[in-house]
């Protein structure tokens, strides 16, 4: 984890007169789990949207794998190895789990409108089988074989979150952006999701940039943590260092008294 896979340099973003981000800079080391935390409205999702290309910042730059991607479209960034999940689920509810995950492989298909119709006489069949094998590996990894043929819209919230992670993995990303991956989950589902995130980071070597509100999860699995407050970076560093910072305690935990701070930080960790 010595090289930086992502560099965000002096990003500012405003919607009319409302400043969502102000001069935010940070780096994410390759192979790390990097968490972004902060109160509601701090600019966390806006930052992920700037990184993934959904928003174009008013100023600053996004460098991914030593390439300036600030002006690239989201699909172009996906081609470079950037995956994304969303706080609000973005699955195709009428499609099966398998088909939803296969959508994540679409940008890697080489056959076109000419060779595709010649399915049995070109390499289109061989290509589809190769992609299906990759998808089946992801399904096995996330332990969702039992729902592979189920309609996505009929699944529980926790399972749909897992399917969305599977689709992001199907992009074969070098870095994956996770927006509140454990929101709305019960304790057991959170533990499972935390394990999957750690495994995809350690076994697949995928860098993870994650927004998460559960401080116990953040403290347990993150290598580095950045805190945003009102669109500005408060601090970025190791989890213990960040949680010990007095500015973070005031902005994030909302308390002033040192003794009470220490007790809450211990409970969060």
One domain, residues 56 and 129: no
- Per the domain annotation, does 42 fall within a domain? yes
One domain, residues 186 and 68: yes
Query: pLDDT tens, position by position, for the chain (269 residues)?
Result: 458 999 999 999 999 889 999 999 999 999 999 999 988 889 999 999 999 999 999 999 999 999 999 999 998 999 899 999 887 777 888 999 999 998 887 666 655 444 545 444 456 666 677 778 888 999 999 999 999 999 999 998 889 989 999 999 988 899 999 999 988 888 899 999 999 999 999 998 999 999 998 888 999 999 999 999 999 999 999 999 998 888 887 766 666 555 554 554 555 55
- Per the domain annotation, does 88 fall within a domain? no
pLDDT, position 141: 92
Annotate 37-88 with DSSP letters as a single string: E-STTSSHHHHHHHHHTSS--SEEEEEETTEE-TT--HHHHHHHTEEE--SS
One domain, residues 165 and 177: no
Residue span of the structural domain in which 157 resides: 93-172
One domain, residues 58 and 68: yes
- Per the domain annotation, does 32 fall within a domain? yes
- Per the domain annotation, does 135 fall within a domain? yes
Q: Among residues 172, 193, 218, which one ends one of the domains?
A: 172
pLDDT, position 254: 64
One domain, residues 112 and 167: yes
One domain, residues 112 and 162: yes
pLDDT, position 123: 62
If one counts the domains in the chain, the total is 2
- Per the domain annotation, does 87 fall within a domain? no
Distances 193 to 141, 181, 187, 243 between C-alpha atoms, Å: 12, 8, 10, 23
- Per the domain annotation, does 241 fall within a domain? yes
Which has the closest alpha carbon to 268: 230, 226, 212? 212
pTM for the whole thing? 0.84
Under a CB-based contact definition with an 8 Å cutoff, are residues 269 and 216 in contact? Answer: yes
One domain, residues 40 and 2: yes
The enclosing domain of 71 has a CATH number of 3.40.50.300
Under a CB-based contact definition with an 8 Å cutoff, are residues 17 and 207 in contact? Answer: no
Q: Among residues 172, 196, 231, which one ends one of the domains?
A: 172
Please identify which residue in the block is written with the tokens 């996770």: 178
- Per the domain annotation, does 189 fall within a domain? yes
Determine what percent of the chain falls in helix, strand and coil, rounding each to the nearest 5: 40, 25, 35
């Amino acid at each position: 984890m010595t090289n930086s896979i992502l560099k965000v340099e002096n990003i500012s973003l405003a919607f009319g007169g409302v400043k969502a981000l102000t001069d935010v800079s940070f780096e994410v080391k390759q192979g790390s789990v990097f968490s972004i935390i902060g109160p509601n409205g701090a600019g966390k999702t806006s930052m992920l949207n700037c990184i993934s290309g959904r928003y174009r910042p008013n100023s600053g730059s996004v460098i991914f794998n030593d390439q300036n991607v600030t002006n690239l479209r989201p699909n172009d960034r996906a081609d470079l190895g950037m995956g994304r999940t969303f706080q609000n689920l973005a699955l195709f509810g009428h499609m099966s789990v398998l088909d939803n995950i296969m959508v994540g492989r679409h940008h890697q298909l080489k056959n076109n409108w000419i060779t595709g119709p010649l399915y049995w006489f070109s390499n289109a069949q061989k290509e589809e089988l190769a992609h299906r094998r990759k998808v089946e590996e992801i399904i096995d990894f996330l332990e969702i074989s039992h729902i592979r043929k189920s309609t996505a819209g009929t699944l529980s919230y926790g399972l749909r979150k897992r399917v969305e992670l599977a689709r992001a993995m199907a992009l074969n990303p070098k870095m994956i952006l996770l927006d509140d991956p454990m929101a709305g989950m019960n304790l057991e589902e959170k533990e499972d999701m935390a394990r999957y995130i750690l495994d995809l980071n350690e076994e697949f070597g995928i860098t993870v940039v994650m927004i998460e509100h559960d401080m116990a999860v953040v403290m347990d699995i993150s290598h580095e943590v950045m805190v945003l407050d009102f669109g500005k970076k408060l601090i970025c560093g190791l989890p213990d260092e960040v949680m010990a910072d007095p500015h973070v305690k005031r902005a994030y935990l909302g308390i002033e008294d040192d003794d009470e701070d220490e007790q809450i930080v211990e409970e969060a960790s």
